[in-house]
Amino acid sequence: MQDIIFIVGLIIALTIHEFSHSLAADRLGDPTPRSQGRLTLNPLAHLDPLGTLMLIIAHFGWGKPVPIDPYNFRSPRRDELLVSLAGPSSNLILALLFTLAIRLFSPPFLAATVLFLFIQVNVYLAIFNLLPIPPLDGSKIFLNLLPPDIAATWEEALTRYGPILLIILIFFPFLGGNLLSSILLPIVNTLLGLLARIALV
């Protein structure tokens, strides 16, 4: 039962995440996501086949990246940064909304447990996507914060070695888990602790 709830929560989180990228791009002047059918809350438009399969098998998955054309933006670097931030930000906002729902409505134990699991999924997805490694959102955020000439050098290196680094982080065993968990969990647990205090005060 918990596995089903986890998968449903992750599908919701991924859908909101990708939709938020699309909405931000659309509002900033790029019609590409709308023309590609990505400006929707229909999960089928955002789920990647392999990412969905991994979601079922390994409880780890991803959505289809939202196509954008930065040249449609008024300020390409700034607006691409905002679009990249929109996905993780939406998951943190969703986690906060679930937290407030627990605090304001004091739901029954089972409902509160489901909401807590949804909170965990959204916080983890947000922090994971902020890693500065392609194809994650953090790579675009990182590159657009750098001066253009330095960003070009880093983009070449990240494009070449980023996927390999991501595989190492996910699959390399470390301290009973993996390198990815050792990096993310301290941040995730800190945020979850703050949200738990808000929910239970």
Compute, in degrees rounded to 10, the torsion defined by CA atoms 4, 195, 189, 187: 120
Nearest in space to 28 (alpha carbons), one of 17, 42, 39? 39
CB atoms within 10 A of CB 71: 7
User: What is the phi/psi pair of residue 173, to 5°?
Assistant: -70, 140
Helix ranges, 59-178 (H): 76-105, 109-129, 137-145, 148-171
The answer to whether 167 touches 67, Cβ cutoff 8 Å, is no
Active site residue 156: no
Q: What residues contact 127, with CB distance under 8 A and at least 6 apart? A: 88, 184, 187, 188, 191
83-to-14, 62, 90, 139 alpha-carbon distances in Å: 15, 17, 11, 12
Residues labelled as active-site residues: 18
